[in-house]
Amino acid sequence: MVLYLIAKKIGRFDIIGLIFYPIQVFSFLIIFLVSLIKKLFGLPIIWKGRVVAGKRKV
């Protein structure tokens, strides 16, 4: 309800977008945090079946 009132003041947003907004934000945060944890601990990051980053060979 609060999100609807704020959105009404700043623009034209449909109710479906407002309902799914928290899900979109939560999904983004999960993906970001998993990626951050993998990067910090040197775990391999796989994208489209290929290793993009991981432990550095020194």
What are the tens digits of pLDDT across the range 34-50?
989 988 888 888 888 88
pLDDT at residue 31 tops 90? yes
- Best CA proximity match to 56, nearest among 21, 4, 45: 45
Q: What is the SS3 assignment for 2? A: helix
HEC profile of 4-58? HHHHHHHCCCCHHHHHHHHHHHHHHHHHHHHHHHHHHCCCCEEECCEEEECCCCC
Beta bridge partners of 45: 53
Beta bridge partners of 50: 47
Tell me which of 21-25, 30-34, 44-48 is least confident.
44-48
